[in-house]
Each structure stands twice: as structure tokens, then as C-alpha cells.
Amino acid sequence: MNISANDYRLIFLHVEKAAGSALRNRLFLNNIAKNYIWWGHDESLSLHQALLIGGHKRLPFYIKQGITHDRTVFCAVIREPVERALSLYHYHYRLGDITKNVNETILSDQTFQKRIENAQNKYLSGQSKFVRTVSLLKENSYIVGTQDELPRFISVFEAQLGLIPDGPVVGNSGPKGYKQDLDVSEEAYVRLLTLLAEDILLYTYISQQFSGLFCNVCPSKWDALGQSLRSARS
């Protein structure tokens, strides 16, 4: 059965390699036993039956499906862009999806370049440009935290919705020392800075202007979202 037209949704825009899996397992699904979809893990409901939605889908996917901002709270965790790109490389290299070394991949692998190029902006707004993303954040209900501020990000959901993590939630940073072992060349590093320029602006903005936690959700919307989630759990 579809959710009511009066219900509010919480959608987690799960940026790759930015603590999303930890939040899924230890915060969101620990508190919401049903009425959820997490793309790639549990897709047993249709999109219009779920109050909590998460996974590696970007904002335009939801807009195309008719989900509007007026009854939705969007949230996301972002990560320092260069660190995130190297973590993504390391993850897929270990899986065998990428076989070239890190410098060859950054400089010549167009698939990888496209995957990382200002991807965090694209998750949040569907646009690569920082100014477009910031405009959307200010106009709608968003919660965006940096990975370094995960405890504060979680505290918002504890305070506003009563969601309590099942144990510590920490970022999935890979084996200790992997970044040093990658040995990124100066040429590759400069290329990363070019590919990630708008993401760097976004990360710097959230980090410096909001101390790592941007929240633009009004009290009435928190109340409505909380009521929808409580009704689903009852």
C-alpha cells in the first residue's frame, strides 16, 4: 500500500565512501523496522510505499519519480573530496574492478574520472556547480554533515526524531595506511584538484561556514516527519 499523501519522507543521499553504510546499519535501519528502501540491499517496497529511502541514488532520480521537496527531508554525509576519491579508487582496486595503478587511473581512466568529477554536488543537487547546490540547500529541507562531524550529524536525528544509533557509527576509511601506500604523483594530484574543484568548494563551505553541519529543516517539518515515522513503527 502506498504511503499517505500527508506523510513526510526522509531520503538519505548516500554518497559513495562517505560513511553511508555505517549510518544505514547502525542508525536508520536500527530505528525504522519497516517502510524503507535501501537501494542495492532491500528493495522489497515500491518507491511510493517507503518513508525512509537510502542508497546510491542522486537527487534527479527522485525528482523524476515525482518526489517533491515540500514533503521530504533530504540528508547526506560528504567527505573531503580528494580523500574520498582515493578511498573510492582503493575500494574498487581491492575488488578487482580497477586494475591500473592510482596515477594511471586518475590521469587516463575516463570512467573513473566521470565517476568522481564533482560527484558530491551531483548527489545533492544533480548539478556539478557548487552555487547551484548551495541554492538548493538553502531553498529546501536538507541536512548535510561532513564525515568528520558524524557524531553531530547523528545528534540531529537523536534530538529531532529519537533515532538512536546501535553502537558507534564511524566512517569506512579502509585499512590503515592505504592512502600513504597509494603514492599519488604531483601530476595526478593536480588532476584530482581539477576534477574535484566544485566538490572542494562545497566541502569547504559546509566545513567552514557551518562547522561541518548544515541543517535547514524547520520545526514543523521535523514534527511532521517524526509523526510519519512513529505511525509507521506502530
pLDDT-above-90 percentage for the chain:
63
Reply yes or no on whether the pLDDT at 31 is more than 90: no
SS3 212: coil
**Number of compact structural domains in the chain:** 1
pTM of the model: 0.91
pLDDT band at residue 56 under the 50/70/90 scheme: very high
Domain assignment present for 4: no
Phi, psi of 30 (to 5 degrees): -65, -25
Range of the domain at 46: 9-233
Residue 180: what pLDDT?
Answer: 57
Domain assignment present for 36: yes
pLDDT-above-70 percentage for the chain:
91
Residue 63: what pLDDT?
Answer: 93
- How many CB atoms within 10 Å of residue 111? 9
Domain assignment present for 1: no
* Average pLDDT over every residue of 32-60: 85
Domain assignment present for 41: yes
Q: Residue 25 is part of a domain; what is its CATH number?
A: 3.40.50
Tell me the average pLDDT of the chain. Answer: 89
Domain assignment present for 81: yes
Q: Give the C-alpha separation, 217 to 220, whole Å.
A: 8
Highest mean pLDDT among 30-34, 90-94, 202-206: 202-206
Question: Which of 194, 224, 203 lies closest to 9, judged by CA?
Answer: 224
Residue 174: what pLDDT?
Answer: 52
177 burial type by CB count under 10 A (0-12 exposed, 13-18 middle, 19+ buried): exposed
Q: In what order do the strands lie in the sheet with 142-146?
A: 36-38, 52-55, 9-13, 72-78, 142-146, 213-215
